[in-house]
Amino acid sequence: MTQQDNTTSLCGQHFIGGQWIGKADGFTSFNPVENTPLPWLFAEAAEQEVNQAVNAAQSAFSAYRQTTAMQKSEFLDEIAKQIMADVDSIIAIAHQETGLPFARLQGETARTCNQLKMFASYLRAPTDARYADKADPDRMPLPKADSRLGYLPLGAVAVFGASNFPLAFSTAGGDTASALAAGCPVVVKGHPAHPATSELVTKAIARAINACNMPTGVFNLVQASQATGAIALVRHPDIKAVGFTGSLKVGRILADICATRPLPIPFYGELGSINPQFILPTLMVESAESLARSQVLSMMMGHGQFCTSPGLIVVLKDAALKRYLASFSDEMAAQDAAPMLTPGIAATYQKMTQALMAIKGVNVLAQGKAATASHHTRPLALTVSVSDYLANQALQTEVFGPFAILVQCETIEEIDYLVHMLDGQLTASIHGLEKDLKDYSQLIDNLSYKVGRLIFNQMPTGVEVCYSMNHGGPYPASTDVRSTSVGIEAMKRFVRPICYQNMPLSQLPRDLRPENPQLMTF
């Protein structure tokens, strides 16, 4: 085995307190397209390395929390710049480790940098109101004190990289960007499916730390493929919050650990969703064919490995449905089988889809081209009645991959009942004309209480990086419905309020002084 390839050099170590440390003798990543292991070895973090990383972050906290908003803004911009300075190597490595196409990885890099720049831009010109209440020494029966509401960073934050977005939801992804913007040092546990990508992105962050003279330890990476490191990280008393994107199973285990620690901490887990699609009848008559095609293309994005992949399509059994189903089948038949992000994800897809096809009342609606290799997975759509769908919890569980279930309802009431029974979702889409939206207004209201993002006449795949985005939703879509992992509000996950009472002007944080245009005084 070698620690080099022809595009770049990798050390395979952890990045802790500004140093690359540890012995690169642990695990390797895997090329899912070639179906072969990659040649680089990575260190495996045990409790000791995790403790070192958290200690480094905690040591950096006191200095980092005192940097100005402008300094943090420059730091985030510099990380984006340093990622772009090495973009070719990063994308080449990420392609080897994930099999994701170059165009997709280029888009994801741009998105990652946009996230960093959005928080940087916010820090230069914050948009949130700050509250101050004027003193009133003459008030009866008691004088009123001057009080002002500020925000403090929580402390060191643990971030878990996600397998399906090696850049945007990993090392320098949204969780890291929003934690750094909030003033919190970060310890990333890199996802074991793309450790080389994590290392290259960490090197970009390390250059930004140096360029901006940020405290050593403000960012740390531990590489780990086993649960030991992950559990030690969320149990560490100096970790004050956790950002996670991944499976319900792992997310819930970590969430429970965080909630039941001696000092409980917030756990922000984005755990996925089946993103139901509702096609309303008037639009179905008008656009059955184009709706079917768009639906298949959305479902096939990243070979179905988006957390916003549409996995449930709800339609009325009416005359237009036949046209929709015909187009849907045609479009599906043209889709290729392809490798998944990891062999484990591919195996799970095979197993889950086999099991679902064996359930009573479930029929195959459409399939993609047959797989030409055992590690490729074949796109699949099933169909079922609403009663059979609701009778079996397995059908309501997310299948990560190019898969959807179409549920045929007899009446509006059946659709209403289905919505009532739905689990929490990241998104839902309503496809309808004006008449539909009027006829189904109660359904729309009910559906809004099940989702984090309610979409009209568009597909759910693609999460815009913008101020007003919400990427979260009722459990199990996320573990904390009050929070988002994308959008400007993601920063708020990592701060908390503090009231300063009768604080001398000279001591007040800048955003609470009279010169802040966002300060509202009561």
Which residues are known to be catalytic?
Answer: 270, 307
Q: Which stretch binds a copy of itself (CB under 8 A): 186-194, 208-216, 393-401, 477-485?
A: 477-485
**What is the spatial distance between Cα 389 and Cα 406, in angstroms, rounded to a whole number?**
10
Q: Which stretch binds a copy of itself (CB under 8 A): 94-102, 167-175, 197-205, 465-473?
A: 465-473
Q: x/- string (CB under 8 A) for a copy of itself, residues 210-249?
A: ----------------------------------------
Residue closer to a copy of itself (CB basis): 345 or 451: 451
User: Which residues touch 341 (CB under 8 Å, ≥6 apart)?
Assistant: 32, 98, 99, 100, 163, 164, 193, 305
In the list 496, 511, 513, 516, the residue contacting a copy of itself (rule: CB under 8 A) is 496
Q: Where are the alpha helices (DSSP H) in 100-235?
A: 102-124, 174-182, 195-211, 227-235
Is position 285 an interface residue for a copy of itself (rule: CB under 8 A)? no
Nearest one of 83, 85, 96 to 5, comparing CA atoms: 96
| Shortest distance (Å) from residue 193 CB to a copy of itself | 26
User: Which residues touch 515 (CB under 8 Å, ≥6 apart)?
Assistant: none
| Three-class secondary structure of residue 435 per DSSP | helix
Is position 501 an interface residue for a copy of itself (rule: CB under 8 A)? yes
Residue closer to a copy of itself (CB basis): 142 or 370: 142
Omega within 30 of 0 (cis) for the link into 32: no
In the list 152, 212, 253, 359, the residue contacting a copy of itself (rule: CB under 8 A) is 152
Q: x/- string (CB under 8 A) for a copy of itself, residues 403-442?
A: -------------------------------x--x---x-
Residue 315 buriedness (CB in 10 A; 0-12 / 13-18 / 19+): buried
| Shortest distance (Å) from residue 201 CB to a copy of itself | 23
Residue type, 21: I
Distance of CA 493 to the CA centre of its chain: 14
The b-or-e profile of 425-437 (16+ CB within 10 A means b, else e) is: bbbbbbbbbeebb
Q: β-pairing, 519-521 with 130-133?
A: parallel
| Shortest distance (Å) from residue 259 CB to a copy of itself | 3
- Map 289-303 to HEC letters: HHHHHHHHHHHCHHH
| Shortest distance (Å) from residue 121 CB to a copy of itself | 10
In the list 173, 291, 452, 485, the residue contacting a copy of itself (rule: CB under 8 A) is 452
In the list 6, 507, 515, 517, the residue contacting a copy of itself (rule: CB under 8 A) is 507
In the list 41, 255, 315, 415, the residue contacting a copy of itself (rule: CB under 8 A) is 255
As beta bridge partners, residue 20 has 15
Is position 68 an interface residue for a copy of itself (rule: CB under 8 A)? no
- Map 126-180 to HEC letters: CCCCEEEECCECCCCCCCECCEEEEEEECCEEEEECCCCCCCCCCCCCHHHHHHH
Is position 37 an interface residue for a copy of itself (rule: CB under 8 A)? no
As beta bridge partners, residue 27 has 42
Is position 520 an interface residue for a copy of itself (rule: CB under 8 A)? yes
Residue closer to a copy of itself (CB basis): 227 or 499: 499
Tokens of 405: 């279930």
In the list 50, 53, 79, 154, the residue contacting a copy of itself (rule: CB under 8 A) is 154
Residue closer to a copy of itself (CB basis): 6 or 127: 127
**What is the spatial distance between Cα 211 and Cα 227, in angstroms, rounded to a whole number?**
34
Q: Which stretch binds a copy of itself (CB under 8 A): 33-41, 278-286, 398-406, 466-474?
A: 466-474
**What is the spatial distance between Cα 230 and Cα 236, in angstroms, rounded to a whole number?**
10
Alpha-carbon dihedral angle through residues 106, 108, 114, 116, given to the nearest 10 degrees? -120
Is position 445 an interface residue for a copy of itself (rule: CB under 8 A)? yes
Q: How would DSSP label each residue in 259-311?
A: HHSSS---EEEE-----EEEE-HHHHHHHHHHHHHHHHHHHTGGGG-STT---
In the list 116, 292, 366, 451, the residue contacting a copy of itself (rule: CB under 8 A) is 451
For residue 447, which phi and psi values (nearest 5 degrees)? -65, -35
Residue closer to a copy of itself (CB basis): 157 or 366: 157
Residue closer to a copy of itself (CB basis): 345 or 488: 488
Residue closer to a copy of itself (CB basis): 28 or 121: 121
User: How large is the greatest C-alpha to C-alpha distance in the chain, in angstroms?
Assistant: 83
**What is the spatial distance between Cα 426 and Cα 448, in angstroms, rounded to a whole number?**
11
Residue closer to a copy of itself (CB basis): 1 or 456: 456
Q: x/- string (CB under 8 A) for a copy of itself, residues 119-138?
A: --------xxx-xxx-----
Size of the site for a copy of itself (CB under 8 A): 74
Is position 263 an interface residue for a copy of itself (rule: CB under 8 A)? yes
In the list 124, 481, 510, 514, the residue contacting a copy of itself (rule: CB under 8 A) is 481
Q: x/- string (CB under 8 A) for a copy of itself, residues 82-121?
A: -------------------------x--------------
Residue closer to a copy of itself (CB basis): 153 or 217: 153
Rounded (to 5) percent helix, strand, coil in the chain: 40, 20, 35
Q: Which stretch binds a copy of itself (CB under 8 A): 292-300, 357-365, 387-395, 463-471?
A: 463-471
